[in-house]
Amino acid sequence: MEGLIGKTSKLLGLVGGAALAVTLIGGCAYQESVDRATNAASQADAAASRAESASTSAQQAAASAQASANKVEQAAADAKAAADRAEAIAAKTETRPMTVTHRHYHRHIHHHHHAAAAGGGEPAPSAT
């Protein structure tokens, strides 16, 4: 009977050891799962932060683009108003009778240079 008890004890010891090993392995696997889940949550949090930053940047770019579009629209309106004014001036000019103005241009001739050149000498001394 002692042989049977000894064999049973050994068998129970092996079974207990195996059970302990399975528990430890299961514990390690559980811890690894927790670590993976924690890591995945950290990565998801970082991705959410990056997405929020990209969203903010996109909103700022959209606001800037809208401001630029408003400036372009205003410039186009100003250009149209200037073109309309120019067209109105041109229409008034076309309907007016043409008046010719005579301008007289006077030529100033410096006689003392010509006199000196004609006489072949020096210009006459000035009385000072």
| Domain coordinates in residue numbering, the chain | 2-97
- What local confidence, expressed as pLDDT, does residue 92 receive? 87
Q: What is the pLDDT of residues 82-96, one digit of tens each?
A: 999 999 999 888 776
- Distance in angstroms (rounded) separating the CA atoms of residues 12 and 6: 10
Residue whose pair of structure tokens reads 């207990």 in the numeric block: 16
- Distance in angstroms (rounded) separating the CA atoms of residues 97 and 95: 7
- Distance in angstroms (rounded) separating the CA atoms of residues 25 and 10: 22
pTM: 0.42
Residue whose pair of structure tokens reads 């108003």 in the numeric block: 81
- What local confidence, expressed as pLDDT, does residue 31 receive? 76
- What local confidence, expressed as pLDDT, does residue 68 receive? 97
